[in-house]
Amino acid sequence: MSSHSITLDDLPRDGERLDLAKVSKLNGALLVVGIAGLAVSVLYLFGFLGAQKQAEFAYSWLFAFFFFFTLTNGGIFWTMLQHVSNSGWSVAVRRFFENLGANVKWMAVFALPFILIPGIRSALWEWIVEQQHAGSYEGLATAAKVNHHLAILVAKHGYLNITFWVVRAVFYFGFLIGIIGLLRKWSIQQDTDGDFKHTFRSRALCAFPMLIYALVVTFSAVDWVMALDYTWFSTMWGVYIFAGGAWGSMAFSIIALSYVRSQGYLKKTVSMEHYHVMGKFQLVFTIFWAYIAFSQFFLIWYANITEETRFYLLRNTGGWWWLSNALVWLHFVATFVILLSAGRKKTPNVMNWVCGWILLNHLVDIYWLIIPERAPSLTSGKIGEALGYHGEPLLWLSGAWVGDVAAFGGIGGICAWAYLRRLAKASLYPCKDPRLLESVSCTN
């Protein structure tokens, strides 16, 4: 630390506000990318480019949606964790997580096509097609007598049915929007009145709902991604998705923090110590993700039961093998080695590159979870027949990547644009938080 230890007198009493005019170039560019991406996405989503393209694009949309959904969820997690653990170091950077989490409203909007556009949801979730085809539970049970594969779906009908599926989605978003909305509201109120009660009640609010949060993360991941193949299952699934989301959202927040500091803000409030702490969390979650990913893979590989191995067999076939290896060597090994050094964690310029790298790897992870299902699902079964495919299922659909880029640009552009605008709506740090001094003077 510097020789002069910082005091609250060194900081502006009413915080610092991001001037949107200063960041208008970036924000304008994000908006343009977002609108362009969405315009292309709309063509795909509503089937203007044909049923085949619409079905392919369903996976692109889920991929982009889920990537940003995990980041947003991570923002909510870090905000809740800092409140519930009564954390001191994090006050100066908490707004970045609060604002990231508050993006979940946009995620709810981007989730609408899954519920409202039949072509999208039936391309993604084969179980929906089978159930709609059968008409009712009785119909499904009758169909299962002929097609024995459907017996699995009959057994899961209590959970995997469209009504319950929609109700759950509404609950997930209701919970996430509600909790982050309250936390952000109280945090901003404290900027004016400086009342301690906001700190205490935020902590109380985060305690028990942390459990609900865990269930929301788990079951949203089950509903939207695991159920892409309704025969597959793993008890580790929710933990895996959580680990990746927390990892990516910390990286995103570090980049956002560095960007805001590069515009001349938070020079006194945030020190290298904060980068160090955040870098350590980054390292912890690099390891935690690898531990979870390894355990899940290893136990399925060792037991070698057909109904479980399908997930990894698909992802170890053809070109996907390279991506699986990228997760081992780049997502984990390289990141782990880079983050071991304390010096690197304390250097913002290095951390910015590392965090960009981390976001890229998180993107690869989500891509690897969702996109390998696209070609086999769309070229087999009832959907394959409807799209005119016969014979062996394919592993890769050429040309579908255009949709991936469009969806990613559309959702990402709008999310980032909304995030920057939200950052400017209140002080960049909770300026009257009673632990602000502890945070700005933290050492570790």
Partner 1 sequence: MATTATAPVSGPPRILEREPLVLNKHSYSWITNRVCGIVENRQPMIWWILFVPSVALFLVMAACFVYLVSTGVGVWGQKQPTSWAWDITNFVFWIGIGHAGTLISAVLFLTRQKWRTSINRASEAMTLFAVMCAGLFPAFHVGRVWMVWFLAPVPNANAIWQNFKSPLLWDVFAVSTYFTVSVLFWYLGLLPDLATLRDRCKSGIKKALYGIFALGWRGGNRQWNHYEMAYLLLAALSTPLVLSVHSVVSFDFATSIVPGWHTTIFPPYFVAGAIFGGFAMVLTLMIPARSIYGLQDLITMKHIDNMAKIILLTGTIVGYAYCMELFMAYFSANPYEGQAFQLRALHGPSVWYYYAMFFCNVIAPQIFWFKKARNSLVWVMIVSMFVNAGMWYERYVIIVTTLERHFMPGSWRVFDATWVDNWTFIGTFGFFLMNFLLFIRFLPVIAIAEVKGVLPQSNPHFDEHAERGTHELQPDMMGADSKPAAAH
Catalogue the long-range contacts made by 327-336 (C-beta closer than 8 Å, 24 or more residues apart). Answer: 327/293, 327/361, 327/364, 327/365, 327/368, 330/361, 330/364, 331/289, 331/290, 331/361, 331/362, 331/364, 331/365, 332/286, 332/289, 332/290, 332/293, 335/286, 335/361, 336/283, 336/286, 336/287, 336/290
- Rounded to whole angstroms, the Cα distance separating 141 from 146 reads 9
Q: Which is nearer to partner 1, 2 or 235 (CB)?
A: 235
Q: What are the backbone dihedrals phi and psi of residue 17, each rounded to the nearest 5 degrees, phi first?
A: -110, 135
Contact 128, 122 (CB under 8 A): yes
Q: Which is nearer to partner 1, 27 or 427 (CB)?
A: 427
Shortest Å, Cβ 303 to partner 1: 5
Backbone Cα Rg of the chain: 23
Q: Which of 288, 295, 296, 297 lies closest to 332, judged by CA?
A: 288
Shortest Å, Cβ 110 to partner 1: 26
Q: Which is nearer to partner 1, 55 or 80 (CB)?
A: 80
Residues of the shown chain interacting with partner 1 in the complex, contacts defined by CB under 8 A: 5, 7-9, 13, 88, 151-152, 155-156, 158-159, 193-197, 199-200, 207-208, 211, 214-215, 218, 222, 233-239, 291-292, 295-296, 298-300, 302-305, 307, 432, 434-438, 444
Beta carbons within 10 angstroms of residue 1's beta carbon: 11
Shortest Å, Cβ 197 to partner 1: 4
Q: Which is nearer to partner 1, 11 or 406 (CB)?
A: 11
Shortest Å, Cβ 172 to partner 1: 16
Q: Which is nearer to partner 1, 12 or 28 (CB)?
A: 12
Counted residue by residue, the chain has a size of 444
Beta bridge partners of residue 427, listed in sequence order: 17
Q: Which is nearer to partner 1, 235 or 349 (CB)?
A: 235
Shortest Å, Cβ 256 to partner 1: 24
Q: Which is nearer to partner 1, 152 or 364 (CB)?
A: 152
Shortest Å, Cβ 168 to partner 1: 13
Shortest Å, Cβ 441 to partner 1: 9
Q: Which of 241, 252, 184, 254 lies closest to 213, judged by CA?
A: 241
